[in-house]
Amino acid sequence: MKITLRHFIILILAVIILLNIELLFNSIEMLLLFLVLLFSDFKQAVVQINISFVDYSISTLLIFMIPLLVLIFNKQLKILQDKLTFISAIITLLLTFTIFAPLTVSSNPNFQKDLRVTKLLTPFSTVQKLYLKKDKIKPASKLDSFIFKKNEVIKKSFSEDFIFVNSVKISGSNLIYTQKNKEIKIGKDKIEIKNGKPLIESKTFILGTDQYGRDILSRLIYGTRLSLFIGLGAVIVSFFIGIILGFIAGYTGGFFDSLLNRFTEMFLAFPILFLIIFIIAIFDSSIFSIILVLGVSGWMSLFKIVRAEVIKLKTKDFFITAKLIGLSNYKLLTKEVLPNIISPVVVNLVFLYGNVILAEAALSFLGLGAGNNYPSWGEMIQAGQSYITIAWWMIVFPGLMLFITLLTANELGRKIEHRFNSGIAI
């Protein structure tokens, strides 16, 4: 039996579900509580909606829905029955990281605590998690119970529930823990006790931590999300600009054509990285401005392709007929032009996607990224530069991630190009 893409997807999702079974139960409970709240106290419920809540809810719903969808649409989607290749496996993994980021990370990407213990840990180093005693408050209303559940589910960037320690000793009624050469005594009454023993868990940082004690693996996973999201957004922007301008230039010809050509040449003659940096530095550096700028700076090759193809198509009989029938320009573009030029456009877009991801990482590397709320691979590499002599893992892992993503994008582009050129339809 050959291993198909469908098996791989289901395997990965099953692993995620098994690893997060407790969290998922809590999450479903949170959703139910939210539904209850929505019907009892609509205003309060709406106030409680924020990005991380939506994120967690969507992840929870999708993780059960996608396996079902895969099983249902198994027959229709031929791509699911393709043999698993390296590229498709990587793409699946990257997409999983993007969609299920909240479930695949072990902690919030910005989580930091007890720097003395967690700073610059090597990969696979383990620290102890000592839980402190919490005052238990009974939820007084539906709103309270929802909020408590939400706090339980959503991984936050800070927590007072526990401390990171290197080792723990019990002596009489006290507990002595060490935090990097420093011994601290703490009364047993301040510690969470479970089955007569203090509650201690060990936590392993698989890829180590950075200079602020943040888990690198979690940051990498959230970085995937940022990279893929910015890439997708920018490619869509480029697609629309390139297609529309290319169509206008090719279709109308004459003055508009030469004007648009000069305009494109102007963009090509710009040192494009400077233009991007210029706009981001002077105007704004949020995710959306980065998407817009990267999109605006990448449409030129698409314009050239579309224009050339439209000029070729313009003289074809079916196009002239369609025009004479009286199709609107929009219909001409979507019904007659797009299906005919889709293959070079898709290839171009996939290569563009790789370039955009690279450009985003380069921008973050130069300190012009989307801000500190969103971890980005480029920014991680830049931070690692200062610690290059003591913490190689801060550079190597994000670099590797970026490398694999770009390699996959390029390979995918080549594969699609090959497929289209050999005349075999997907």
Partner 1 sequence: MNKEIILSLTKRLVTSIVVLLLMLSFLFVLLRYSPGDPTQKFISPKLSSKLVLKIKESFGLDKPVLKQYQSFLINLSTGDLGISYTYREPVTSVIGRYLPFTVIFSSLSFIIQISLGLFLALYSIKRKGSWIDTFIKKFSLSVYALPSFVTGVLLVYLFSWKLNLFPSSGLKSFDDQSLSFFGQLGDYTSHMILPLITLSLGGIAVFYKYLRDNLDETFNAHFVMNLRSYGVTEKEIIKKHVIPNSIGPMISVAGVELGILLSGALITEVIFGLPGMGRLAINAILGRDYPLIIGITFVSGVLIILSNLLADLVRAKLDRRIFQGMIN
Residues that bind partner 1 (CB under 8 A): 262-263, 265-266, 268-271, 273-274, 277-279, 281-283, 354, 358, 361-362, 365-366, 378, 381, 384-385, 388-389, 392, 395-396, 399, 402-403, 406-407, 410-411
Estimate to the nearest angstrom the gap between the alpha carbon of 5 and the chain centroid.
21
Q: How far is the CB of 297 from partner 1 (least distance, A)?
A: 13
Q: How far is the CB of 253 from partner 1 (least distance, A)?
A: 17
Per-residue burial over 390-409, b = 16 or more CB atoms within 10 Å of its CB, e = otherwise:
ebebbbbbbbebbeebbebb
Q: Are 289 and 283 contacting, i.e. CB atoms less than 8 angstroms apart? A: yes
> Which of 244, 366 has the CB closer to partner 1?
366
Q: What secondary structure letter does DSSP report for 182?
A: -
Q: How far is the CB of 417 from partner 1 (least distance, A)?
A: 11
> Which of 114, 360 has the CB closer to partner 1?
360
Q: How far is the CB of 97 from partner 1 (least distance, A)?
A: 18
> Which of 41, 411 has the CB closer to partner 1?
411
> Which of 211, 340 has the CB closer to partner 1?
211
Q: How far is the CB of 362 from partner 1 (least distance, A)?
A: 6
Could you tell me which of 379, 229, 352 has the C-alpha nearest to residue 291? 229
CA distances (Å), origin 343, targets 231, 358, 404, 420, 423:
20, 23, 25, 6, 10
> Which of 153, 216 has the CB closer to partner 1?
216
| DSSP string for residues in 116-148 | HHHTTPPTTEEEEEEEBP-------SHHHHHHH
User: Could you tell me the two tokens for 63?
Assistant: 């993780």
- Contacts of range 170-174, beta carbons closer than 8 Å, 24 or more positions apart: 170/198
> Which of 258, 321 has the CB closer to partner 1?
258
By residue count, the chain amounts to 426
Q: How far is the CB of 162 from partner 1 (least distance, A)?
A: 35
Could you tell me which of 245, 270, 267 has the C-alpha nearest to residue 256? 245
